[in-house]
Chains A and B, each alone.
Chain A
Amino acid sequence: MSKQYISTNCVSGAHNSDIFDVAVVNKYTITVGSDGYARFWDNKLDEIHNPKDHCVSHQIDPTGIHHINTYENTLNLNGDHVKVVLVGFGCFSGYTKISFFVGDDVSGLKEIKVPKELQKSSWTPIFYKDPESKQDYLVVTQMDGGIVLYKLDITGSKDEIFIELTKQTELKTIEGSFPISVDVSQVVDGNIAVGYTNGDVVLYTLETLKVINSFHSTDLQTSGNSKTSNAVPRVVTFSPGGSVLAVARDNQNSGSITLYDVKYGENVGTLTKPSHSTSATVGGFAHDGWIMGLSFDDEGELLGSCGFDKCVRIWNLDDKERVATLNLSASDFEDTDQTEMDSSIASGISFISKGTRGVSGGDNNHGICVVSFDRGVRWYRQAGGI
């Protein structure tokens, strides 16, 4: 059954350059891009507002930010319940920056000092929030293919927060391969999935970085150099329950999505859009371009994907059918100040939980936020239920 999505807000020129990633915490939608800024867009406003008037910006790294990951937790510190939000930024300089703010006040965003190995050639940070609140972690991939795991401990009081990163273990290089994508499942005994440019997706145990499984690319065409594959696993993401891993791979100039069962290491299906072509193809595609973003909804029933073909697709995972397609174009904005470098390629997507956005219908419907190389941010919500 198809679903309808309604545009609730959009901002043009949200960044001065490409927007690479988006993350949503309760209070803010956070976007990052190659201008090196993180912008915090207030989620709690009604439909009629200009998001730019309620946006808090922080410059993070002048070389640009390519990935963002967040950690949101309410902790009992000396008897006080304190909400702490950590934001990890993967920057082009190879510096992983970690900042935090307390409560909802992002104007007080503070950067913490990160270990040395995160200051030079790291790539993407991912937080792990332990559902049992025993031990949280920070996982960071390195440009040389390695992974470093830190224990994440937050102490102090509501007046002063201390964030401590203690290196627990690290995994050395996978020779010549670049960790282009990474995710951590937010469940008890979580797993790490890393997508490498040699086409493999490797599944590790979180605490010990032991390899559990390798999902090889099915790409038959390899370029002479075996270290690189054309089937780059551009995005990997775990379902909320941690049982399914969705992998988006380049497939020539198209993008395919494969679902893997984490426990048994099996391919449990692919997501393909119906093709009207009469030519029999072996595998179908999810997008007519590389896929740059994947996001599960809270229930793990829907998967959103977006990419080079300038569209967002929403998939129902029960029957693996596509239930919605949203096309992006510069005409989505009232005011367009598009430059020659701008393009409505959808570079990142995040589902927004019910009750997060302040828009009408936001309480009963989930939403989606999409960022793009046209420097725009677009918010949608599922139709109906008002």
Chain B
Amino acid sequence: MGVNGIEAGASLQDDVSKQAQEFVDVKCFDLPLELSVLQKLKYINEQVLKLFLACSPFQLTLRAKTGSIRCFPSVGHEDRSLMKFTAIITLIKHLIQNLESGIYTTKRHLYYQDVELFQKDQSECNQLLDLLAHSLKASITQLNIYPNQKGMMFALGFDDAILIPIKYQSVIEKIHPHIRSVVIVEKDAIFRSLVSCIKTQGQEKHKGILFVTGKGFPDLLTKSFIWHLACSGLPIYGFMDSDIYGILIFKSYREFNKGVATERFTFLGCFILEYQHGFMAINSRDVSLGVSTLKKFASVEDQEALKWKREIQRGLYLHKKAEMNVISEKIQSDYSTLHYILAKIDSEILQLQWQ
């Protein structure tokens, strides 16, 4: 209140600001180190509950990665920050529940618990989770949140294709002795028909191949899984579209980390010159993405990246791309795509192994 005294019947505006000044802070950061993540969350939850019951105004304060303090609700942004406040409280409740009962979840799953609450924007949910995790000095996985399992894998001997497990290390230990090479397929549809083909017609020679798909741009889990396999000495082969995205996807696997393992990645196709039919015109986005990728490739020396560079240049020069399409109603094209992959596996991978 003003020092000079304010007349009785102060404006509503003053009333609000008075309340704002009396907000009690519920600090979500700098909590005692000896507390576990679950204990911290419970502590915050209890504080909130207590203050609620006492009808005293309070705000949650969190610390962002940048070090700045974020308050919910915050004065002046009541609309949005109240929504976020509710969202954080809801997230805390879910996290406590998951941690207590040992349930693993994904960011996406949490988002779908109440889409409206996150203003129908998953990045909103992700941001709040990151903010919360950082304030608690916990990693996302300590909150029992794991990357969404998007990647699939299959090898002859599996009943069916399975999701790449979150704790893949143990799986690798189990299957690794039998695996001699890894084949990544860009597209889910091709992966599935490849799996059903190998399942029914697979031969002894296909036994040593682990087939993986990241369904387009791979998630963290799939990339780290592939990287792990590469580090263990297995060669990694990629079958992608011959367009800028196909190359960027394979690049994202290879550039997950640095080291000698990068040398084990080989792009096997498809190449635009191998195509007979099915070329598509590239659009202006393909062009600008291609140009900016080429600029990044300007000084590459290694043969593999030079190969990708040449493929991008060809696509730009010809103004075409070639997709490894599987269109289910066209059995013919489905067959030819699989035939192409299997023939390449024969000539490029298996031949090499016999040598």
- Nearest residue, chain A, Cβ from B299: A62
Say yes or no: A341-B284 contact (C-beta < 8 A), given A20-B317, A197-B319.
Answer: no
Residues 263-313 of B at the A interface (beta carbon under 8 Å): 271, 273, 276-277, 280-281, 283-284, 287-288, 290-291, 294-295, 297-299, 306-307, 309-311, 313
- Chain B nearest CB: distance from A266 CB in Å? 28
Is residue B316 within 8 Å, beta carbon to beta carbon, of the partner chain?
Answer: yes
Q: Bound state CA distance, A186 and B132, in angstroms?
A: 69
Contact of A17 among B273, B284, B290, B310 (CB under 8 A): B310
Which B residues touch A178, using CB under 8 A? 284, 287, 319
The answer to whether A232 touches B319, judged by C-beta atoms less than 8 angstroms apart, is yes
Which chain B residue lies CB-closest to A177?
Answer: B284
Say yes or no: is B318 at the interface (Cβ < 8 Å to chain A). Answer: yes
CA of A134 to CA of B310, assembled, Å? 42
Residue numbers in B under 8 Å from A143 (CB-CB): 284, 287-288, 291
CB distance from A113 to the nearest CB of B (A): 20
Contact present for A253 and B277 (CB under 8 Å): yes
Say if the beta carbon of B314 comes within 8 Å of chain A. yes
Q: Is the CB of B306 within 8 A of A17?
A: yes
A341 touches B295 (CB 8 A): no
B contact residues around A223 at 8 Å (CB):
280-281
B294 closest partner in A (C-beta): A63
Interface residues on A, range: 20 to 34
In the complex, the number of residue pairs spanning A and B with C-beta atoms less than 8 Å apart equals: 70
A341 contacts B310, CB within 8 Å?
yes
Query: Chain B contacts of A92 at CB under 8 A?
Result: 290-291, 294, 313, 316
Who on chain A is nearest to B282 by CB? A178
Across-interface contacts of A34 in B (CB, < 8 A): 309-310, 313-314, 317
Task: Give the shortest distance, in Å, between A193 (CB) and chain B (any CB).
Answer: 17
Chain A nearest Cβ from B134, distance in angstroms: 39
Chain B 5-17 interface mask (CB, 8 Å, partner A; 1/0):
0000000000000
Interchain CB contact under 8 A, A93 and B291: yes
For the complex, what is the distance from the CA of A18 to the CA of B309, rounded to whole Å?
A: 11
User: Are A18 and B281 CB-contacts (below 8 A) given A93-B295, A290-B318?
Assistant: no
CB distance from B292 to the nearest CB of A (A): 9
**A62 and B298 contact, CB distance less than 8 A:** yes
Check A357 for interface membership: any CB of B closer than 8 A: no
Please indicate the chain A residues that have their CB under 8 angstroms from the CB of B306 in the complex. Answer: 17
Q: Are A144 and B284 in contact (CB under 8 A)?
A: yes
Closest partner residue, chain A, to B277 (CB atom) = A253
Closest residue on chain B to residue A143 by CB atoms = B287
Q: Whole-angstrom distance between the alpha carbons of A94 and B316 in the complex?
A: 11
Contacts A/B (CB < 8 Å), 7 sampled:
A20-B317, A63-B291, A66-B317, A93-B291, A232-B281, A341-B271, A345-B273
Q: Which residues of A contact B (CB under 8 A)?
A: 17-18, 20, 34, 62-64, 66, 92-94, 121, 143-144, 176, 178, 180, 197, 223, 225, 228-229, 232, 253, 290, 341, 343, 345, 373
A143-B291, A223-B281 given; 11 more Cβ-contact pairs under 8 Å: A62-B299, A66-B313, A92-B290, A92-B313, A143-B288, A176-B283, A176-B284, A180-B319, A228-B283, A341-B311, A343-B273
